[in-house]
Chain A
Amino acid sequence: MRSPVKRGVIVTSLVVLLGTGVFWWGTDGFTALTAETARRVEILRSPRPVPNVTLEDQDGNIFKLQDYQGKLLAVDFIFTRCTTLCRSMGMIFKQIRDLIPEKSLGRDFMLISISFDPDHDDPASLKKYGQAYGADGEIWRIARVPDKAELKALLEAFGIIVIPDEFGGFEHNTALHLVGRDGKLRLISDIDKAVPFAEEVVALL
């Protein structure tokens, strides 16, 4: 590199190449500009095992997430005091349940709404939330994770970030999650994609 101009050109090209490479790497090939998209893309590419946490449902039953192995499981995250998104989540989950053939419900496919607010959401309030949407406590359970450390691990595995808002509630990324028969999280969909989500489930039955 004798001339400074030549050197400048070479270094600039390297910088552009490297910079583009970093952007490519940091956005999954320019597809995921937000953390939310990134989490969905990553799950599709490599389904992720979810921790075997202990849950308590609206009837006070204690069970494990692993109990669902061998079945397809739809998961969403809620808190029962929520007045906005979680309400529509309830309707959406109801819609999904109604789109699945009845013979598969409970045998091949189940739903669970998990509260990330165990301090407020005791079985009684979970039950109230469930009754509003016809969650029966068997095919569709509303549950909380009583153990804080387990809850944290669960939210982390699903990629859910919960932040308190200024009204005493929470803001959180909302989506439809599908856990496969192998106990691995395999699909994350937008909440307005209930029908494609149900179709995906039916295809896997």
Chain B
Amino acid sequence: MSSHMLVQMPLLAVIGIVACRMLPVRLQDSILVKVGGSVPCVMVALFASSYWMLPRALDAALNDPLAELAKFLSLPLLVGFPLVLAWRRLTLIGRGFVWTNFISMLAVLGWLYIVAPVRVCNSYLVNDQESAGWYMVIISVLIFLWWLGTLMVGGGMGPDKHDSSGSGTTLA
């Protein structure tokens, strides 16, 4: 369960992140304009990532090949990719929203997994559920500390890829 939620699924999102970063900046910008700016991109990523946090979606991904396929497509395309598209155009507040939202979701979900009196996933042992919960809480604390660190050092902008044209780092 831990490796599914905390290794495989983040890696799938990373595939989308890397793929988007490989595109020329001009193409990224034109896609961003076409889809209506950074807000819809963040919303898409929010919905898609929340969906795969549902215990039911995890079970489905293991027992239904169609759901598994949906997971493999949606995590890169609907989470990683739009986040990178939006990121360069996000204000400090926008980025802060994404971070705090992500951190709190992870922590709350982890906490739920630790204290849940029932097995929430039919495909996993109860022990798995608890350890996955602990990992989630620990990871969320680590990310929070790291983000806090960037607030001190880098102004809270988080990871940012500077490009040669310089246009990439302007904040809308």
Main SS at interface, chain B? helix
B60 near A35 with CB under 8 A, answer yes
CB–CB A163/B121 < 8 A:
no
A161 at the interface (CB under 8 A from B): yes
Contacts of B50 in A (CB 8 A): 23
Do A34 and B59 form a contact, CB below 8 Å, given A19-B47, A23-B51, A161-B122? Answer: yes
Q: Tell me whether A27 and B47 are in contact in the complex, defined as CB-CB below 8 angstroms, given that A35-B59, A163-B124, A173-B122 are known contacts.
A: no
In the bound complex, CA of A19 to CA of B35 (Å): 16
Contacts of B59 in A (CB 8 A): 34-35, 161
Residues of chain B contacted by A15 (CB below 8 angstroms): 40, 43-44, 47
Question: Size range of the interface on B?
Answer: 20 to 34
- Residues 82-135 of B at the A interface (beta carbon under 8 Å): 118-127
Contact of A34 among B36, B39, B44, B120 (CB under 8 A): B120
**B56 contacts which chain A residues (CB < 8 A)?**
26-27, 32-35, 37-38
Given the contacts A163-B123, A163-B124, A173-B119, A11 and B55 also touching, CB distance less than 8 Å = no
Set of chain A residues within 8 Å of B139, measured between Cβ atoms: none
The answer to whether A22 and B51 have CB atoms under 8 Å apart is yes
Task: State whether B39 touches A165 (Cβ < 8 A).
Answer: no
Across the A-B interface, the 6 shortest Cβ-Cβ residue pairs: A11-B36, A19-B47, A35-B59, A8-B37, A11-B40, A161-B122
- B positions within 8 Å CB-CB of A: 33, 35-37, 39-40, 43-44, 46-48, 50-51, 54-57, 59-60, 63, 118-127
Q: Which chain A residues have a beta carbon within 8 Å of chain B's beta carbons?
A: 4-5, 7-12, 14-16, 18-19, 22-23, 26-27, 32-38, 161, 163, 165-166, 171, 173
